[in-house]
Structure 1
Amino acid sequence: MEFCQSVINETLRLGNIVPRLWRKTLSDVNYKGYIIPQGTTVITHIAAMHLDPSAFENPNIFDPWRWQAIKKSNNWMPFGGGARHCIGSEIARIEIAVFLRHLILNYDYELVESGQPVASPLVKFSTGLPIRIHPIGKMNP
């Protein structure tokens, strides 16, 4: 189950459906010598953070094994963070794990045509990623 969570983490890192978070500063903030005045809307671009090479080695490559060494990362926020962290994050992770288990144990799949992943600003496939899914033991030509 641990590796399944690593696959889920990596999938959320590359394919997060929330591209940005909007927040308003509650007081003046000094960030690297710049003053961000109270009341300013600050936008965190999640996809840019998840694809930052200073945070993730080879950020454009799907590598679930990276999560075997990472236990916590401040640069990974698929469910937001702090007081506004999504309260449904754990149930979402469980649902994804149950879905993957069911899919892997009960279905075979094959690529109809290949596509290259494009990671700017969100990961997608250049031609989509058409696949055929068949119940195990019932492959059609």
Structure 2
Amino acid sequence: MPLTTRVIQETLRAASVLSFTFREAVQDVEFEGYLIPKGWKVLPLFRRIHHSSNFFPEPEKFEPSRFEVVPKPYTFMPFGSGSHSCPGSELAKLEMLVLLHHLTTSFRYLYCFPINFEY
């Protein structure tokens, strides 16, 4: 099931479940010439991170193979990260696996027009 897992990861990257969350700076941080003082509220935009070409080349392209290598820390966070991450993330991923299983085994699929696949 490695391919199925990568398809789910790429789906979570392409269509972020969690768009943003609020955090609080625990210390003064300088970011790109700006000072973020300790105590300020910070709003990380996960969709922006997941669609950054700095972390994912050709981010607009659906490419499950990009997850053959584990992403760098804090570049793929579909359910948040750290102590505030979604407690149901593993259940949600399992539900996606079950859904894909039923979709692929319960139906017959026909192409409406010729498609050339490249592998």
TM-score range, shorter chain: 0.7 to 0.9
**Amino acid paired to 2:70:** K
Cα 1:108–1:73 shift into 2, 3 Å:
farther
User: Could you say which residue in structure 2 is the equivalent of 1:95?
Assistant: 95
Whole-angstrom distance in 1 between the partners of 2:92 and 2:110:
26
**Amino acid paired to 1:76:** F
Structure 2 SS opposite 1:20 = coil
Q: What are the residue-to-residue correspondences of 1:75-90 with 2, within 5 Å?
A: 75-90=75-90
After TM superposition, give the deviation of residue 108 of structure 1 in Å. 3.5
TM-score by length of 2: 0.83
User: Could you say which residue in structure 1 is the equivalent of 2:46?
Assistant: 46
- Does the alignment pair 1:11 with 2:11? yes
Whether the aligned pair in 1 keeps the contact of 2:24 and 2:39 (CA below 8 Å) is yes
**Amino acid paired to 1:71:** V
After TM superposition, give the deviation of residue 30 of structure 1 in Å. 2.8
After TM superposition, give the deviation of residue 109 of structure 1 in Å. 5.0
User: Could you say which residue in structure 2 is the equivalent of 1:106?
Assistant: 106
User: Could you say which residue in structure 2 is the equivalent of 1:63?
Assistant: 63
Runs of 4+ in 1 over 4 A off after TM superposition: 109-112
Structure 2 SS opposite 1:35 = strand
Higher strand share: 1
Structure 1 SS opposite 2:66 = helix
After TM superposition, give the deviation of residue 87 of structure 1 in Å. 1.6
User: Could you say which residue in structure 2 is the equivalent of 1:28?
Assistant: 28
**Amino acid paired to 1:86:** C
Higher RCO (C-alpha 8 Å, min separation 6): 2
Q: Which runs of 5+ in 2 are unaligned?
A: 113-119
Whole-angstrom distance in 2 between the partners of 1:34 and 1:61:
32
Q: Which runs of 5+ in 1 are unaligned?
A: 113-141
Q: Give the root-mean-square deviation of aligned CA atoms.
A: 1.9
Size of the aligned set, in residue pairs, is 111
Whole-angstrom distance in 2 between the partners of 1:16 and 1:111:
28
User: Could you say which residue in structure 1 is the equivalent of 2:72?
Assistant: 73
**Amino acid paired to 2:108:** D
Q: Percent identity?
A: 34
Whole-angstrom distance in 1 between the partners of 2:80 and 2:14:
15
